[in-house]
A = this chain, B = another copy of it.
Amino acid sequence: MKDGIETRLYVRTPLSEADAVELDSAQAHYLRSVLRLGPGEGVALFNGRDGEWLARIEAIAKNRATLRVERRTREQRPEPDLWLAFAPIKRARIDFTAQKATELGASLLWPVMTRRTMVDRVNTDRLAANAVEAAEQSERLTVPEVREPVALDRLIEAWPSDRPMVLCDESGAGGSVPGIAEALAAAGPTIRERVGFVIGPEGGFAQEELDRLRSLPFVTAVGLGPRLLRADTAALAAIAVWQAVAGDWRTSTH
């Protein structure tokens, strides 16, 4: 956040100098009734494409607000191409997964229905709202795409064969598959350019699902140690490790 502007909002409109931006009613309400901002006050805007811009409130009422874009404060930069496909879990923890995966830099969130998935409906609007809020707070310049849930078979069919799929073993069986840092280091260079993690439900994948996944040429199975991890923990741990060893947390050049 530049210029002491602490409020960041994600908008869908293009952003360039002198543009007027109309906020939606929820955002207008947030600025006016929660933050108590008024005309002349600054807000940072981003849309996932045009960088971050300083804008000022021109007019604000109960359910609407108009902002005027002043100048660009940050350039758009490339971000990691990191997908997370995960079996949905119960409400508080799925919110949490969306928030944390966004903070950690995931570019796509994709619920996948597996044999042992216990949740039969996913509120993707809610997932997307969690992702937007986390992007605003973490100073990201993008918001991850949220896809509609798919069955595991369909996920496999739709998966691009040039994107390494990393299948995470969170069962604590540790040792039966290579540890995640070692497996990422041993994988080819593509896994640093684009990757997708697949996380099973509580209780894990069924054996035939595992057999099917492991038979795919683009799948790498990795272990997450000797303790049983919850699905949300496994997702965040896998993303953090990838960012640290292959993604944009690295500061040296390789």
- Interface of A with B (CB < 8 Å)? 96, 100, 103-105, 137-140, 172, 174-175, 177-182, 223-230, 233, 236-238, 240-241, 243-245, 247-252
Contact = CB atoms under 8 A, between A and B. Distances in A.
B103 A230 contact: yes
Contacts of A240: 236-238, 240-241
Given A236-B233, A249-B180, A250-B182, A138 B227 contact: yes
Contact of A223 (B100, B103, B180, B251): B251
A228 to B, nearest CB: 5
24 contacts: A105-B225, A105-B227, A137-B228, A137-B230, A138-B227, A138-B230, A174-B249, A174-B251, A177-B251, A178-B251, A179-B252, A180-B249, A181-B249, A182-B252, A223-B249, A225-B243, A236-B236, A236-B237, A238-B240, A240-B240, A240-B241, A241-B245, A244-B244, A244-B245
Nearest to A178: B251
A134 B223 CA distance: 20
A248 B183 CA distance: 14
A226 B250 contact: no
Contact of A179 (B100, B181, B233, B244): B244
Given A181-B244, A251-B175, A103 B236 contact: no
A233 B103 contact: yes
A137 B236 CA distance: 18
Contacts of A248: 174, 225-226
A181 B250 contact: yes
Contacts of A247: 225
A39 to B, nearest CB: 28
Given A100-B233, A103-B227, A229-B104, A179 B137 contact: no
Contacts of A237: 104, 236-237, 240, 243-244
Nearest 10 pairs of A and B residues by beta carbon: A237-B240, A225-B249, A181-B244, A241-B244, A179-B251, A138-B227, A179-B249, A179-B250, A181-B245, A139-B228
Nearest to A224: B249
Contacts of A225: 104-105, 243, 247-249
Contacts of A180: 244, 249
Contacts of A230: 103, 137-138
